[in-house]
Amino acid sequence: MYSFDYQKAKSVADAAKVLAKDGDAKLLAGGQSLIAAMKLRLAHPSEVIDLGTIKELSGIKADSKAVAIGAMTRHAEVASSAAVKKAIPALASLAAGIGDRMVRNMGTIGGSLANNDPAADYPAAVLALGATVVTNKRKIAADEFFKGMYETALQKGEIITSVSFPVPKRAAYMKFKNPASRYAIVGVFVADSGTGVRVAVTGAGPSVFRVAAMEKALAAKFAPESVASIAVPEKGLNTDLHAKADYRAHLITVMARRAVEAAMK
């Protein structure tokens, strides 16, 4: 790890001020991605601003319409939250499948979304559920948030404060894990809001994306067979040692079908 300056942010405003001053400063949430990258000397911030002590950034608020999750809420808290389990069980189970128990005890939803790893899980939930990412400056709709591989709509100095998920009628997430890293090779989140269906795919492309053909078919009939024969074109999908694009394309269909099955249970 390269050396850097360190400070604990007292508030979001305080953190924003430092960010504005120092273009090479970085926010530190759970550190599960940032510290990992810094250890391998792949990231080299001049300054690390620890959000860990800002109390108001963590916590879960839920009612019958929406679940709001503070940016610093750990994956483990989302996974075990009774409120989340009740309102959006698919979200709780997605969180329970991120990394491992130790990673879940540190990693946060805000960090995961800001990082927008192409194989991360949360982006699928945010996009499929049509969630809103709330920052210190504005509210960003899910469809506007994810811009590409490790890229988001966040601007310099912008800090995620919470994420608000509308409660769907039914939803499910199916993840096909990379056997080595256990990140998603393909993760498909299917959400039926009652007024429409959204299907979001993570892991398969440079960034999370929706599958219009599946959404349309499911809106017509929410059943596994509706998606079972919809093939996603392999063009533009990721290819690596573990899965070539054609295999990923195939897995999207399988995972989508299984997600619909699970959502109907």
Ligand X SMILES: Cc1cc2nc3c(=O)[nH]c(=O)nc-3n(C[C@H](O)[C@H](O)[C@H](O)COP(=O)(O)OP(=O)(O)OC[C@H]3O[C@@H](n4cnc5c(N)ncnc54)[C@H](O)[C@@H]3O)c2cc1C
Given ligand X, other proteins, none, residue 254, with its beta carbon under 5 to 8 Å by kind, binds other proteins
Min CB(100)–other proteins separation in Å = 3
Nearer Cβ to other proteins, position 131 or 259?
Answer: 259
DSSP 182-223: -SEEEEEEEEE-SS-EEEEEESSSSS-EE-HHHHHHHHH--S
Count other C-beta atoms under 10 Å from residue 101's C-beta. 10
Q: Which of 9, 120, 129, 252 binds ligand X (CB under 6 A)?
A: 120
The residues in 189-248 that bind other proteins, with binding defined as CB under 8 A, are 241-244, 247
The two three-digit tokens of residue 144, written as one number: 């506007």
Burial 218-227 (b: 16+ CB within 10 A, else e): beeebebebb
Given ligand X, other proteins, none, residue 4, with its beta carbon under 5 to 8 Å by kind, binds other proteins
Binding range to ligand X, per CB under 6 A, among 62-70, 95-103, 165-173, 220-228: 95-103
Residue 43 interacts with other proteins (CB under 8 A)? no
Nearer Cβ to other proteins, position 59 or 166?
Answer: 59
SS (H, E, C) 35-55: HHHHHCCCCCCCEEEECCCCH
Count other C-beta atoms under 10 Å from residue 91's C-beta. 31
Given other proteins, ligand X, none, residue 160, with its beta carbon under 5 to 8 Å by kind, binds ligand X
Q: What is the CA radius of gyration of the chain?
A: 18
Min CB(198)–ligand X separation in Å = 19
The residues in 129-168 that bind ligand X, with binding defined as CB under 6 A, are 154, 159-160
Given other proteins, ligand X, none, residue 6, with its beta carbon under 5 to 8 Å by kind, binds other proteins
Min CB(72)–ligand X separation in Å = 7
Residue with tokens 């039926």: 192
Nearer Cβ to other proteins, position 165 or 173?
Answer: 173
Q: Report the C-alpha gap between 79 and 98 in whole angstroms.
A: 9
Residue 193: which of 85, 66, 97, 68 has the closest Cα?
66
Residue 253 to residues 68, 186, 248: CA-CA distances in angstroms? 30, 10, 9
Q: Report the C-alpha gap between 224 and 263 in whole angstroms.
A: 10
Given other proteins, ligand X, none, residue 111, with its beta carbon under 5 to 8 Å by kind, binds ligand X
> Given the rule CB under 8 A, which residues bind other proteins?
1-6, 8, 28, 30-32, 35-36, 38-41, 48, 50, 52, 76, 80, 99-103, 105-106, 176, 179-182, 241-244, 247, 250-251, 254
